[in-house]
A and B are shown apart, each in its own frame.
Chain A
């Protein structure tokens, strides 16, 4: 399993990106989707996920919908209009960060 600390700062971006491609999701579904996409490499703990979701909701980036599922209520999260814009910003920031890190950890050697 990879270093979870490295992923910690990217949690909000991960959540936003997942919601951008899945319309609406609930907490447990997000943890499972991340596990599936990363082939078990990244495991989002509940202690980190829910506070992040609540923060994004309070910041107006996520909207909630509560639906009856079987014999209980389920809270779904979906992106607001601002959330969609913020996702694009955060993803492009992340890509820029990854490019910079790539240059730092794996600099190309030149004969010049």
Chain B
């Protein structure tokens, strides 16, 4: 006995009340609830639908959907960072390493050309802060969408990680002018900037790849 559209809406509403706001989690749970209810309704068509929803909910354990959401969030975050680091790693292997070396050489040349090294690194720090603000702006846009997916809900976490790294970079940029005469110090800072900029690019690239993937598997456009 296939479940009706009205009954599916009831399940959907029940899950929304239970704080399941992410579509990817909700769609899987709706199917799970519906699969059980189809069998139960076959056995007893006069079943108390709402009571049965609560009974199925209880099977998820004492904490309801909390454990499921926590574990899924942890998995999604872990997957995101793993993919981002793999992407970052690809910049240090053939063929992308040629591009990395060219970009780093260009940056290095620019550093050599600028006499006031402290100002040069303050500018780089400003660029990183700007990228951080861009991420924060994207968090607001992405979180304000009507339909949200847990698989894509990683921008805030990424922003926090990136922000901490930028603050550490900024801390070293605030050192006195004499420190910038030390070649080891400035080259380390330059490498740190280069890695941070690449990390930012990789994080955003992985996000857009995931977005494409989610759009494809859930047959949705412009998430």
Contact = CB atoms under 8 A, between A and B. Distances in A.
A72 B31 contact: yes
A76 to B, nearest CB: 10
B198 interface: no
Interface stretch (A5-13, A57-65, A93-101, A104-112): A57-65
Contacts of A57: 75, 79
Interface stretch (B65-73, B132-140, B162-170): B65-73
B61 A70 contact: no
Interface size class of B (residues with CB under 8 A): 20 to 34
Interface in B31-79: 31-32, 34-36, 56, 59-61, 63, 67-68, 70-72, 75-76, 78-79
By secondary structure, the B interface counts as helix
A64 B35 CA distance: 19
Interface string B168-186: 0000000000000000000
Nearest to B2: A70
Contacts of A54: 68, 71-72, 75-76
Nearest to A71: B5
Given A28-B36, A55-B75, A69 B31 contact: yes
B101 interface: no
Interface in A39-91: 45-48, 50-51, 54-55, 57-58, 60, 64-66, 69-75
B60 A72 contact: no
Given A73-B218, A74-B31, A45 B59 contact: yes
B183 to A, nearest CB: 42
Given A45-B60, A51-B67, A66-B217, A71 B32 contact: no
Contact of A58 (B4, B78, B217): B78
B67 A28 contact: no
A51 B68 contact: yes
Contact of A47 (B68, B75, B218): B68
Contact of B28 (A29, A50, A51, A65): A50
A29 B39 CA distance: 12
B8 interface: yes
21 contacts: A27-B32, A45-B59, A45-B60, A46-B32, A46-B56, A47-B59, A47-B61, A47-B63, A51-B70, A54-B68, A55-B75, A58-B75, A58-B79, A66-B218, A70-B2, A71-B2, A72-B3, A72-B31, A73-B31, A73-B218, A75-B31
